[in-house]
Chain A
Amino acid sequence: MIAIFLKRILLAIPVLFAVASITFFLIKIAPGGPFDADKAVSPQVLKNLNEAYNLDASNWEQYVGYMTGLIQGNLGPSFRFPGRSVTEMIATGLPVTFELAFYAILIALVMGVFLGVLAALKRNTFLDFIPMAIAMIGICVPTFLMGPLLVLIFGINLELLPVSGWGQLPGDKILPSLTLGFAYAAYIARLSRGGMLEVLNQDFIRTARAKGLTERMVVIKHAMQGGLIPVVSFLGPAIAGLLAGSFVVETIFQIPGLGRFYVEAAFNRDYTMILGTTIFFSAMIVFFNLLSDLAALWLNPRSRDA
Chain B
Amino acid sequence: MKINNLGLLLALILVACSKSISPVDSSVETGVFHFGNGSEPQGIDPHIVTGVPEHHILISLCEGLTIPNPNSGGNLPGAAKSWTLSDDGKEYIFYLNKAAKWSNGDPVTASDFVWSWMRILTASLGSQYPDMLYYLEGAEDYHTGVTSDFDEVGVKAIDKYTLKVNLKNPTPFFIGMLSHYSTWPVHKDSVLKHGAIDDRNGQWTRPGNFVCNGPFQLKSWELNNKIVVEKNPFYWDAEKVSLNEMHFYPVSNVMTEDRMFRAGQLHVTSTLPSQKCPIYIEENNPDLRIDPYMGQYFYRLNIDNPSLKDVRVRKALAFSIDRKLLVEKVTKCGQIPAYSFTPPGSNGYQPDTKIPFDPKLAKELLNDAGYSEANPFPKLEILFNTNEDHRKLALAIQQMWQQNLGIEVELVNQDWKVYLSREMVGDFQVSRAGWIGDYEDPNTFLDLMRPNRGNNKTGWEDANYDSIVERANSTNNQTQRYELLKEAERILIDNMPIIPLYTYVRSYQLSPDVKGYNPHILDHHHPKFIYLERD
Chain A stretch 33-66: residues in CB contact (< 8 A) with chain B: 33, 35-45, 48-49, 51-52
What 1/0 mask marks residues of chain A from 137 to 175 whose CB sits below 8 Å from any chain B CB? 000000000001001101110011111111011110110
Known A48-B125, A169-B23; contact A39-B201, beta-carbon cutoff 8 A? no
B20 touches A151 (CB 8 A): no
Which residue on B lies nearest to A174, using beta carbons? B9
CB nearest neighbor in B for A251: B253
Indicate whether B415 reaches chain A with its CB closer than 8 angstroms.
yes
Contacts of B16 in A (CB 8 A): 160-161
A43–B144 CA distance with the chains assembled, in angstroms:
11
- Chain B residues near A166 (CB-CB < 8 A): 225
The answer to whether A45 touches B127, judged by C-beta atoms less than 8 angstroms apart, is yes
Q: Is the CB of B143 within 8 A of A44?
A: yes
Q: A82-B48, A174-B13, A252-B256 are in contact. Are A33 and B421 (CB under 8 A)?
A: yes
A102 to B40, CA, bound (A): 25
Instruction: Find B203's partner among A83, A98, A269 (CB 8 Å cutoff).
Output: A83
B422 engages A31 (CB within 8 Å): yes
Contact (Cβ within 8 A) A254 B126:
no
Instruction: Find chain A residues with CB under 8 A from B420 CB.
Output: 32, 36-38, 40
User: Taking the complex as formed, is A230 at the interface, i.e. its CB lies under 8 A from any CB of chain B?
Assistant: no
Chain A contacts with B in 245-278, Cβ cutoff 8 A: 251-254, 256-257, 260-261, 264, 267-269
- For the complex, count residues of B whose C-beta is within 8 A of A: 61
Cβ-neighbour of B263 out of A31, A39, A163, A251 (below 8 A): A163
Q: Which residue of B lies closest to A171 (CB)?
A: B12
Decide: B126 and A49 in contact? CB cutoff 8 A: yes
Q: Cα distance A33–B265 when bound, in Å? A: 36
- A36 — which chain B residues lie within 8 A by C-beta? 417, 420-421, 424
Those of B177-207 within 8 Å (CB) of chain A: 200-203, 205-206
Distance in Å: Cβ of B293 to nearest Cβ of chain A: 15
User: When the two chains form their complex, are residues B263 and A155 in contact, meaning their CB atoms are under 8 A apart?
Assistant: yes
Residues on B with beta carbons closer than 8 Å to the beta carbon of A77: 201
Complex contact A82–B200 (CB within 8 A)? yes
Is B454 interfacial (CB 8 A cutoff)? yes
Do A261 and B224 form a contact, CB below 8 Å, given A42-B454, A163-B265, A164-B260? yes
Q: Which residue of A lies closest to B251 (CB)?
A: A254
- Quick one: CB contact mask for B257-268 with A, threshold 8 Å, 1 for yes? 001101101000
Counting CB contacts under 8 A, is A204 at the interface? no
Q: Given that A159-B19, A168-B226, A252-B253 are known contacts, is A45 also in contact with B418, CB under 8 Å in the complex?
A: no
Q: How far is the CB of A282 from chain B (nearest CB, A)?
A: 22
A48 touches B123 (CB 8 A): yes
Within 8 A of A (CB), among B198-225: 200-203, 205-206, 222-225
Q: Is A300 an interface position by the 8 A CB rule?
A: no
Do B1 and A102 touch across chains, with their CB atoms under 8 A apart? Answer: yes
Q: Shortest distance in angstroms between A68's beta carbon and chain B's nearest beta carbon?
A: 19
Closest to B143 in A: A44
Residues of A within 8 Å of B84, CB to CB, are: none
Are A81 and B1 in touch, CB under 8 angstroms? no
- Interface residues in B379-425 (C-beta closer than 8 Å to A): 415-418, 420-422, 424
Is B5 among interface residues, defined by CB-CB distance under 8 A? yes
Bound together, the chains give a CA A62 to CA B123 distance in angstroms of 23
Whether B42 is near chain A, meaning CB under 8 Å from some CB there, is: yes
Cβ A256 vs Cβ B424 within 8 A: no
A80 contacts across to B, CB distance below 8 A: 42
Most buried by B among A32, A77, A252: A32
**Could you say which of A30, A44, A107 has the most chain B C-beta atoms within 10 Å of its C-beta?**
A44
Closest chain A residue, CB of each to CB of B433? A38
Asked whether B128 lies within 8 Å of A52 as measured between CB atoms, the reply is no
B45: which A residues are within 8 A, CB to CB?
Answer: 82-83
CA distance A256 to B203 in the complex (A): 21
Residue of A nearest to B427 (CB): A31
Contacts of B417 in A (CB 8 A): 30-33, 36, 267-269
Report how far A35 CA is from B421 CA in the complex, Å: 10
1/0 contact trace for A6-37 toward B, CB 8 Å? Answer: 00000000000000000000000011110111
A32 near B251 (CB under 8 angstroms)?
Answer: no
Q: Does B255 make an interface contact (CB < 8 A)?
A: yes
Inter-chain contacts of B457 with A (CB < 8 A): 40
A93 in the interface, Cβ–Cβ < 8 Å? yes
Query: Which parts of B11-30 form the interface with A (CB within 8 Å)?
Result: 12-13, 16, 19-20, 23
Alpha-carbon distance A269/B127, docked complex (angstroms): 19
The reply on A234 being an interface residue by CB < 8 A is no
A99 at the interface (CB under 8 A from B): yes
**A173, closest chain B residue (CB):** B5
Asked if A93 and B50 make an inter-chain contact with CB atoms under 8 angstroms apart, the answer reads no
State whether the Cβ of B107 lies closer than 8 Å to any Cβ in chain A. no
Q: Which of B125, B225, B252, B455 has the most CB of A within 10 A?
A: B225
Instruction: Evaluate contact between A103 and B263: CB separation under 8 angstroms.
Output: no
In the assembly, what is the distance between CA of A169 and CA of B255, in Å?
Answer: 20
Is B434 in contact with A38, judged by CB distance below 8 angstroms?
A: yes
**Binary CB contact string for chain B from 429 to 472 against chain A (1 if under 8 A, 0 otherwise):** 00000100000000000000000001101000000000000000
Residues of B within 8 A of A267 (CB): 415-417
Are B8's CB and A52's CB within 8 A? no
B249 at the interface (CB under 8 A from A): yes
Q: Separation in Å of the A119 CB from the closest CB of chain B?
A: 22
Partner of A51, one of B9, B124, B418, B455: B124
Q: Of B128, B144, B265, which contacts A165 at CB under 8 A?
A: B265
User: Closest chain A residue to B385 by CB distance?
Assistant: A38
Provide the bound-state CA to CA distance between A26 and B457, in Å.
27
Is A178 among interface residues, defined by CB-CB distance under 8 A? yes
Q: Is A82 within 8 A of B201, CB to CB?
A: yes
- Give the docked Cα–Cα distance between A178 and B12 (Å): 13
B200 and A52 contact, CB distance less than 8 A: yes
C-beta contact mask, B146-178 vs A, less than 8 Å → 1, else 0?
A: 000000000000000000000000000000000
Given A45-B126, A253-B256, check contact A39 B50 (CB 8 Å).
yes
- B residues less than 8 Å from A40 (CB atoms): 420, 424, 454-455, 457
Chain B residue at minimal CB-CB distance from A257: B224
> Does A106 belong to the interface (CB within 8 Å)?
yes
Q: Is A89 part of the binding interface, using a Cβ–Cβ cutoff of 8 Å?
A: yes
Return B438 CB to nearest CB of chain A, in Å: 8
9 extra A-B contacts, CB within 8 A, seeds A51-B126, A98-B1, A253-B256: A43-B454, A52-B124, A80-B42, A81-B42, A151-B259, A161-B16, A163-B259, A163-B262, A254-B251
A→B interface (CB under 8 Å): 30-33, 35-45, 48-49, 51-52, 77, 80-84, 89, 92-93, 98-99, 102-103, 106-107, 148, 151-152, 154-156, 159-166, 168-171, 173-174, 177-178, 251-254, 256-257, 260-261, 264, 267-269
Q: Return the 4 tightest CB-CB contacts between A and B, nearest first.
A: A32-B417, A256-B224, A256-B225, A40-B454
Can you pick out 16 interface pairs between chain A and chain B where the beta carbons lie within 8 Å of each other?
A: A31-B417, A36-B421, A45-B130, A81-B40, A82-B43, A83-B43, A83-B202, A93-B223, A103-B1, A103-B5, A156-B263, A161-B16, A163-B263, A174-B8, A177-B6, A261-B224
